Amino acid sequence: MAKDWNKEFAFYAASLYRIGNYTDATLVSTIMFEKAIYTLLEKKGIDKDYIKENKENRQGELQFAIDLMCQEYSEYNSTQLHKIRKYSRNNIVHGTISIENIDPNIIKTMIIITWRMLDKERYQKYGKTPEKIDFLTADYHVVGVREFFNKQLSDEHAKKETFDKFEISDFEELYLLRNKMFSLASKIEKEILQSKNDENVKIDLISRVDTTSAYVWMPMHAYNEVGEKLSSSSASILATPLDFRIYLEIGGATHQVRKNYYIYLQSNEFKKMIEKNTIQGLEYFDIDWYCFITESNYIENYNNIKIQEKIGEAITKLDQDEEKIITWNKLLVGFIMERGDIAFDEIEKRLEFILNLYLDFKSFENNL
């Protein structure tokens, strides 16, 4: 199912407000307030042509649209909406209010009412106010929307370059490494995913980087919409300044998939997959803050008791973090390679195993 971007942007404005980005929240909510009015009218079969033809000469189109909308939807108050139109929306659009020094109280009601009109389910879920949105949930949503829409020409140029290998200099420069990842992605699509994989696995959005980034992440999974990497498992490649990983990732926006994964780690299906691996260096590893390894060891060095202990710890943490975005992972399975010269054939053989492991886990999940 395609995303409803009216809903996504209404929640985006609320999320921006939650994390304290009032300038962007102002810009988005100012646009979405008017959009919400017309969207609800369209659901009642009233289009903009009707509004233009029937409004009174001295009456603005938005003013008339608000009156119509409140007639059609009795749960909304025209006095409140006109107050928002005059003192928030109009003053921002026409320059009476300085956007760069916006008072959050001026936009809060506009954000809330827009969120209610366009995204009622999450509006109810989070207690009808942005302050009750979990901070990490809000932050993830903001990052996800920006990642989806912020395309750079360099991304397309990088795809056109032929990937040969990673070199030590790539790991010393974040933006250079990300460009190399796009070149690698193009080669993986052509030589692995398209030619050897019939399970509709695709490369999702490669993570954007900025001055605070510590990694570049390339997730591969079966998805309906790009950007679903956070709420699913994936065969992933991740590069940091210190290492290069090819592994099975569990996104931070899902609890149930993670619990299913821990069941899988104790299954005969997983044991059979591990027995098929012929490549040295397959590891379990734990991470915090999305990418920092806190513990790692080769698969053969972990017995069933150790695995069950760690799974027990993870389940306890999951239950404590219910409804929260997770920034940690335990018992990820994959290959960790030191930074330096890494040729495509070294990546290919490891990735093919991890892709098979990912597909086996997906099949296991479907049968739970």
| pLDDT score recorded for residue 154 | 47
Confidence of residue 16 (pLDDT cuts 50, 70, 90): very high
**Highest averaged pLDDT of the listed ranges 109-118, 144-153, 156-165:** 109-118
State the number of CA atoms in the 13 A half-sphere of 90 facing the CB. 11
**Highest averaged pLDDT of the listed ranges 53-62, 293-302, 315-324:** 293-302
Q: How far apart are CA 204 and CA 236, in angstroms?
A: 10
Residue 294 sits at the vertex; the CA angle it makes with 348 and 146, to the nearest 5 degrees, is: 65
Confidence of residue 242 (pLDDT cuts 50, 70, 90): very high
| pLDDT score recorded for residue 79 | 93
Confidence of residue 155 (pLDDT cuts 50, 70, 90): low
Domain ranges of the chain: 5-149, 153-366
Q: How far apart are CA 172 and CA 353, in angstroms?
A: 28
| pLDDT score recorded for residue 156 | 63
Q: How far apart are CA 91 and CA 106, in angstroms?
A: 10
What's the mean pLDDT in 305-328?
A: 88
| pLDDT score recorded for residue 12 | 96
Query: What is the per-residue pLDDT across 260-283, written as a single tens digit (0 to 9) for each?
Result: 999 999 999 999 999 999 999 999
Task: Identify which has the larger pLDDT, 160 or 27.
Answer: 27
- Mean per-residue pLDDT over the chain, rounded: 90
Task: Identify which has the larger pLDDT, 209 or 310.
Answer: 310
pTM reported for the whole predicted model: 0.78
Predicted confidence (pLDDT) at residue 335 exceeds the cutoff of 90: yes
Please state the φ and ψ torsions of residue 161, each to the nearest 5 degrees: -80, 145
Confidence of residue 198 (pLDDT cuts 50, 70, 90): low
Is 268 in contact with 283 (CB distance < 8 Å)? no
| pLDDT score recorded for residue 139 | 85
| pLDDT score recorded for residue 150 | 65
Domain formed by 153-366, architecture: 2-Layer Sandwich (3.30)
Query: What is the per-residue pLDDT across 98-122, written as a single tens digit (0 to 9) for each?
Result: 887 788 988 999 999 999 999 999 9
Task: Identify which has the larger pLDDT, 211 or 177.
Answer: 177
Q: Name the token pair of 101.
A: 């020094």
Q: How far apart are CA 289 and CA 291, in angstroms?
A: 6
Query: What is the per-residue pLDDT across 40-99, written as a single tens digit (0 to 9) for each?
Result: 999 999 988 888 888 876 678 899 999 999 999 999 999 999 999 988 898 888 878 888
- Percentage above 70 pLDDT, the chain: 95
